Chain A
Amino acid sequence: MNVKEKLKRVLIEDLNLEDLDPEEITDDMALFDEGLGLDSLDAVELVVIVQKHFGVEIKDMVESRPAFQSINTLAKFIEERMS
């Protein structure tokens, strides 16, 4: 399972997005507002999820903020840190 697929699955499980299937989440879907509909507090959960499931610690929030745009950007951020 690649990072994007795993990311979609853990987002659904850990954020309790029960109405969604991983297939319904497109790679360029925004994480917040009109996309997945996450709110500002979910960003906190995202940080925890990324560390828990991918072992990537987000230390600098300013530097990593662009990663919170979409599944694509977050997966890319994780892949870069993992490699």
Chain B
Amino acid sequence: MSPIEPHSTLAQRQAWTSRSIGSSWQHQIFYLLIRLGGRRAAYLLLYAVIFYYTLLPSVRRKCSYYLHQRFPESKAWGRFWNSYRMSLGLGKVLIDRALIGILGPEHVEVELHGKQELLDLVAEGNGVILVNAHVGCWQVAASVLGFVETPINLLMQREEGDIDRHHFEHAGIDSPYRIIDPRGDLGGVLEMLQALKRGEIVSVMGDRMLGDDRNGVDVDFMGGVVTLPFSPYKLASVTGAPIMVLFSYKVGPKSYALKIYQTMHIPGGLGRRKEKFTPYVREFAQRLEGFCREHPFQFFNFFDMWNNRVSKE
């Protein structure tokens, strides 16, 4: 019997890629610097490398989609400087992620806001859906979630040929998370459902469409309209799992914070109409917008979210 084919049309037509820029040997230089000189040595090279990349129009264009929405009044020099800061923010996150794999997690401090709240939600026994975004560094921040003692499942799409390595790959250990591929059968929803039925944590990104086109709704975001997935909220409605919106952000050279921005209990029986889930997606978008106001250079979507909408086609 043939497997059920995924019908992921957005994944085929999406204009963006999460694949890292830079070649393998360039990454290796940073890894070597981390081993020899620690974070400071790697950051020093990073400042120069990011400056070079910011000179490239293609890199500034990737930054411009978000920065135009966030800083609509900025002039040419301001746009250049903001592109530099945004790219530098991502570069530091990637170095920190490699650093905890190479040198150990004790080299990064993570402050968790809302520990008891998370424990209370897990104790409800319906599983928990963590809705994150491409901000800060989720993998670094998640290293403090070990106290939950509940398996964490990560819905994650990895680009073919991506040379960027995760911290556990640097450390040569098994992934601490169970990875669910959204390009798998039925977008991985059955695996997510099964994990929630076991009372586990499922972590998804709420700011990018992965998988099925139809699982997105248009909501206002930073002065424009974007398509964001409603699948986490539908899963929550069907399973009774609470939603926890949490974002990570870098607060110092060697420290991160992981903060719960909102919890939601989605009522059951909302049916199939995606409009029913729009209010929850809108709430998420508002929280994310608030985050971007607080931490403008820790938002890492380098594609035109505002021109990638399903309803435009």
Chain A residues proximal to chain B, CB less than 8 Å: 15-16, 32-33, 39-45, 47-48, 59-61, 65-66, 68-69, 73
Contacts and interface: CB of A to CB of B under 8 A. Distances in A.
Contacts, number: 65
A73 B185 CA distance: 17
A61 B191 contact: yes
A60 B193 CA distance: 10
A40 B7 contact: yes
Contacts of B189: 40-41, 43-44
B7 A65 contact: no
Given A32-B7, A41-B212, A65 B272 contact: no
B193 A33 contact: no
A69 B2 CA distance: 9
Interface in B143-171: none
Q: Identify whether the interface residues of B are mostly helix, strand, loop, or mixed.
A: helix
B184 to A, nearest CB: 10
Interface residues of B, number: 27
Contacts of B273: 16
Contacts of A39: 7, 212, 214-215
B1 A69 contact: yes
Interface stretch (B98-106, B125-133, B231-239, B301-309): B231-239
B278 to A, nearest CB: 15
Contacts of B231: 40-41
B4 interface: yes
Given A16-B273, A44-B235, A66 B1 contact: yes
B178 to A, nearest CB: 13
B277 to A, nearest CB: 10
Contacts of A68: 4, 186
A69 B4 contact: yes
B194 interface: yes
B47 to A, nearest CB: 43
Interface of B: 1, 3-7, 185-187, 189-191, 193-194, 197, 211-212, 214-215, 231, 234-235, 238-239, 271-273
A61 B272 contact: no
A59 B273 CA distance: 26
Contact of B186 (A40, A59, A60, A73): A40
A47 B212 contact: no
Nearest to A57: B197
B198 to A, nearest CB: 9
Given A65-B185, A68-B4, A45 B194 contact: no
Contacts of B187: 40-41
Contact of B238 (A16, A44, A60, A66): A44
A43 B238 contact: no
A68 B4 CA distance: 8
Given A15-B272, A40-B215, 17 more contacts: A16-B272, A16-B273, A33-B5, A33-B7, A40-B6, A40-B7, A40-B187, A40-B212, A44-B235, A61-B190, A61-B193, A61-B194, A65-B4, A66-B1, A66-B3, A68-B4, A73-B1
